[in-house]
Amino acid sequence: MKTLDDLLAEGVTGKRVFVRADLNVPLDGTTITDDGRIRAVAPTIAALAEAGARVIVASHLGRPKGAPDPRFSLAPAAVRLGEILGRPVAFATDTVGESAKATVAALGDGEVTLLENLRFNAGETSKDDAERGAFADELAALAELYVGDGFGAVHRKHASVYDLPARLPHAAGRLIATEVGVLKQLTDEVKRPYVVVLGGSKVSDKLAVIDNLLTKADRILVGGGMVFTFLRAQGHEVGGSLLQEDQLPAVTEYLSRAKELGVEFVLPVDVVAGPGFPDLKAQADTGPQTVSAQNIPADLMGLDIGPESRELFASRIADAGTVFWNGPMGVFEHPDYAEGTRAIAQALVDSPAFSVVGGGDSAAAVRLLGFDENAFGHISTGGGASLEYLEGKTLPGLAALED
């Protein structure tokens, strides 16, 4: 796989370089609430601009239905990218239309433009090879070279990720190179004990990675909304907590396999519960309650791991050699239910382990809760991509960058 440094050594001055980034940042209206993904790709863009390239940045944001939707415009990302780079970033109001062509044509050496949301075009995400290829042809006409650096999208067989690299000389950007190097440390070069911490809402999102990690991890710690399916599989009452009953057979099998393989499977012993959704802020009068994880009252919903569980989880992380964490332990956005996620983050900071925080929610939680990003071994920009890599899958966007 050719790297950005290889490309720079060959010379990029005056050349139009298409950078597939992942600027899929959370927005509150037009305000970016977490710019981590923009900051992560900025070094690649800056290196190209400083070398005199004419840089064309493209990304998706959200899930528009293949047509323009102002709620998912990348205009705020263009402003923030310019602030981070310390140089103007022109913004094209379409992706392959007249604005894009004119904006790209106007680029001088060392200048940067950002195209409008790739997913405003049906061809970007189409499952039809011909439709996707036609859109890739239009993108290829804008540039001479391609740099893939949108790690959060490399598990998608999309036009800008999979088809476009086949049409242009290509290389992997610095972010992708870093992410792949980190993931190899989680699969091929693991320092033990290897502890995996999984959270988030749906157990179905994590079953494949659990299946693969059962033969690799020494301990698997489970929290978040997904834990209640595990607790129910053990015969416990989970009250009004999130529950995927259709996944109970699979979860029961994984618990049995973990025991057979000698993998320590750690579940909460207590949870912080409340009346539940949709409006947590309106529940201040009720307040959170700490209850046993084995018998959650019918009128309560588990929303975080409890204080005993925080200590338990921290103790199982303390002596780790490697820790991979994907998914918050609770509804961290609400202060009453953030302490479990905070405890995991603090345990990673305190541990001498090589720690990897994977997934947008986990990364956002680390920043929201005020932790120094440099206190962790690595904060990944790609939750789904990281999980699929750890599942042992071939990622289309990485395969496309290989020579």
> Residues at the annotated binding site for ATP?
206, 302, 333, 359-362
Contacts of residue 253, Cβ cutoff 8 Å, sequence gap at least 6: none
* Cβ neighbours around 117 below 10 Å, total: 25
- H and E: helices and strands count for the chain: 15, 17
Helix (H, G, I), strand (E, B) or coil at 378: strand
Binding-site residues from annotation: 22-24, 37, 60-63, 119, 156, 206, 302, 333, 359-362
Binding-site residues from annotation for (2R)-3-phosphoglycerate: 37, 119, 156
Q: Which residues are known catalytic residues? A: 37, 202, 360, 384
Structure tokens at 294: 């084995």
Q: Let me know: does 329 contact 340? Beta carbons within 8 Å.
A: yes
Q: Let me know: does 340 contact 330? Beta carbons within 8 Å.
A: yes
CA distance readout (Å), 68 to 65, 118, 122: 8, 9, 10
CA distance readout (Å), 340 to 112, 170, 300: 41, 43, 18
* 287, containing H or E segment: none
Binding-site residues from annotation for substrate: 22-24, 37, 60-63, 119, 156
